[in-house]
Structure 1
Amino acid sequence: MLLFVLQHSVMASECWKNMLNKLNIVTCQRAIYIISTCFLIQIFMAYLEPVHLEPLWYVSTNKDTLIWLAFFLVHLVAWLLLYATCIIMDFPEMVGIRQVYYQYLDCGPPLIMKSAATRRLYSHMRHGGTSCMMIILWVHPLMTSTRMIVASILTLYLLCGFSVSEHDYIYLREQIARKHITFRLHRTKSIELLQ
């Protein structure tokens, strides 16, 4: 977990970005960042050793369908919102695909084409879903010691690394409304084409 936090912090630093710029591979910075993150998560999952202590809490979902349904719905909504924030925050750019594509087209970095509000948001919060991730980590019927350690480290990292202001909330709400309008237009056109 500490390697993940270290990698996320170092590779997001200006020092790292300047080094990539000197090597003339700044276009691949996001892709390298994402690939490194995925690699560390795979290592973490492969070598995670469970801590064998009594669970901190256990809520039986076997006997009561409503309790199981409540946990299921909370997680479903959290995962859907996490997915939606990835789409809203421009997923191809977030993972580095758009930067490479724009470099190929000789268009410059895609961030310069973003609004000032988007650049301001990206400067302190590159991906959304912090609240959703914390819900996924903490709202669980079985809180083992291992899960609690992972949830605590990631929660501290998320809380230290991201801050959201009222301007961010207003901006994201506007983006959701725009995506909804775009989705409705595409759906209407698709229906018209099928008829």
Structure 2
Amino acid sequence: MDVKPNNAPVFNRVITDVLLVLMFIVQHRLMATRAYKELFMSFGDVALALERLVYNLTSAVSLQVMISWWQPIPDYSLWELETNQGGLLWLFFFCLHAILWLCLIFLAMSFDPLEFLGLKQVWYQLNGWRHPLFYTNKYLRRLYSKLRHPGMICFLSLLWLHPVMSLDRCLLAAALVVFVISGPGVMDGEYMYINQTVKNLNVPNSH
């Protein structure tokens, strides 16, 4: 595992990585709150159509900042398995990660990618149509409200099931586990909120 040398103290690198992870989590948490969504709703249908797109754009910026400033810490590892290329262990991890990445792609495509990114909402608004959720089956709507991160389990598996668990990788994996577990519980309130969002749309029903 080739890592660029970093002469900064390990403590400084740990603090930097922790702050970057916190920035990413706080951005996600704040922009996923009901208060944030209601703020967008208060500005009308156009703002509501942009809400998901703005969320994804800010998430992308936050992720890029984290990637750019991330500090590798190869000095310490929880475990480090020797995987000579072509060996059985190397083949095992290669196949495992290939399967997980394929599952991630499949899960992402099984949901509506354009709606997930927020592009569909903008397109519908420009054409004078109602919010895409209005045309979605109510059972699928309920599923969407419960699984907005369908590939998180796969992504966490990619982080944890790795031959080298460096300290920075462990910090990232542990933080994301806490992020997922500590998330607000999804109950009928969230589902009702989606329905209320659809009801509040006053765009003419012409598809």
* TM-score clears 0.5: yes
- Equivalent pair of 1:17/1:29 in contact (CA under 8 Å): yes
| Structural mapping, 1:8-157, within 5 Å | 8-24=28-44, 25-51=47-73, 53-62=75-84, 65-157=87-179
Question: Which amino acid in structure 1 is aligned with residue 80 of structure 2?
Answer: Y
Question: 1:53: Cα distance to partner?
Answer: 4.0
Distance in 2 (alpha carbons) for counterparts of 1:51 and 1:71: 22
Question: Which amino acid in structure 2 is aligned with residue 33 of structure 1?
Answer: Y
Question: 1:52: Cα distance to partner?
Answer: 5.5
Distance in 1 (alpha carbons) for counterparts of 2:155 and 2:99: 11
Match of residue 168 from structure 1 = none
Question: Which amino acid in structure 1 is aligned with residue 33 of structure 2?
Answer: S
Question: Which amino acid in structure 2 is aligned with residue 135 of structure 1?
Answer: S
| Structural mapping, 1:2-13, within 5 Å | 2-13=22-33
For 1:40-88, what per-residue CA distance to the aligned partner results, in whole angstroms no more than 9, with x for missing partners? 1111111112345421101111166111111011111111101111111
Question: 1:151: Cα distance to partner?
Answer: 0.4
For 1:1-49, what per-residue CA distance to the aligned partner results, in whole angstroms no more than 9, with x for missing partners? 1111111111111111111122331101111111111101111111112
1:159 aligns with 2:198: no
- Equivalent pair of 1:125/1:163 in contact (CA under 8 Å): no
Structure 1 unmatched ranges of 5 or more: 165-195
Question: Which is further off, 13-22 or 48-57?
Answer: 48-57
Q: Cα RMSD over matched residues?
A: 2.0
Question: 1:119: Cα distance to partner?
Answer: 1.4
Question: 1:163: Cα distance to partner?
Answer: 7.3
Structure 2 unmatched ranges of 5 or more: 1-20, 187-207
Distance in 1 (alpha carbons) for counterparts of 2:133 and 2:154: 25
| Structural mapping, 1:154-193, within 5 Å | 154-161=176-183
Q: Which is helix-richer, 1 or 2?
A: 1
Question: Which is further off, 153-162 or 109-118?
Answer: 153-162
Give secondary structure in 2 for the equivalent of 1:56.
Answer: strand
Question: 1:160: Cα distance to partner?
Answer: 3.1
Question: Which amino acid in structure 1 is aligned with residue 142 of structure 2?
Answer: R
Give secondary structure in 2 for the equivalent of 1:123.
Answer: helix
After TM superposition, the score normalised by the length of structure 2 is 0.74
